[in-house]
Amino acid sequence: MTKAEKVGFVISTLNRLYPQIPIPLDHKDPYTLLIAVLMSAQSTDVKVNQITPLLFEVADNPYDMVKLSIEEIREIIKPVGLSPMKSKGIHGLSQILIEKYKGQVPQTIEELEQLPAVGHKTASVVVSQAFNVPAFPVDTHIHRLMYRWGLSNGKNVVQTEKDAKRMFPKDLWNTLHLQIIWYGRQYSPARGWKLENDIITATIGRKTVLKEYYKK
């Protein structure tokens, strides 16, 4: 199977499994999405979705957020982990949004990456999900699956993103990155992986990955 055929199989299979794909993090606007994605670093979407309502009940916009102290934010978001860094980032970026963007979230990856605690992945998620700008945020699921499927060498997430953008049609990026995340969670997890449940890897998977699986 050529790489083009593999890509076609991935797209058709994901469209069949996930014709409608929900956004994992609960939010109501670009600002609450930005905060939720920032909080999700080294945490789970489930945990973040439990904590964000508590934070947004107090402050769901940058003007209310800066009225809180960093310590007050930290106390609320502590269960998601890395709360010292995240609370400083949330307070700092909220102040910048007020001073530089009139309280609005900028719509480019470059501008978002200039905000405290906002990295490339977070910025990519926000532009794709809040503003429908084509992007391909790579998380651990996408990084793992692109390697398992033989579509990337797995060296790092930067290379995986480049490979994904090169192989998949640009107009599908925003949908595909979510579909792959859900597929990875449901059918191709890092732990407890069962190849018989993973139709894509079983069909197009990298030979070394399949050999390693059958050795277990």
Dump pLDDT digits (tens) for 36-82.
Answer: 999 999 999 999 999 999 999 999 999 999 999 999 999 999 999 99
Portion of the chain with pLDDT greater than 90, in percent: 94
Q: Which residues make Cβ contacts (< 8 Å) with residue 94, sequence separation at least 6?
A: 62, 63, 65, 66
- Predicted local distance difference test score (pLDDT) of residue 216: 66
Catalytic residue among 78, 88, 139, 165: 139
Known catalytic residue at 171: no
Known catalytic residue at 198: no
Alpha-carbon torsion, ordered 26, 31, 36, 38, to 10 deg: 160
Sketch out the chain's domains with CATH numbers.
3-21+136-215 (1.10.1670.10), 30-131 (1.10.340.30)
Return the closest-CA partner of residue 39 out of 54, 20, 18: 54
Dump pLDDT digits (tens) for 97-118.
Answer: 999 999 999 999 999 999 999 9
Q: Average pLDDT in the 6-20 region?
A: 97
Alpha-helical (H) ranges within the chain are 3-17, 30-39, 45-58, 62-65, 70-77, 83-101, 109-112, 120-131, 140-148, 157-167, 173-187, 199-204, 207-215
| Main-chain dihedrals φ then ψ at residue 174, nearest 5 degrees | -65, -35
Q: pTM for the full model?
A: 0.91
Catalytic residue among 6, 86, 121, 163: 121
Give CA angle at 133 (89, 22), nearest 5°.
80
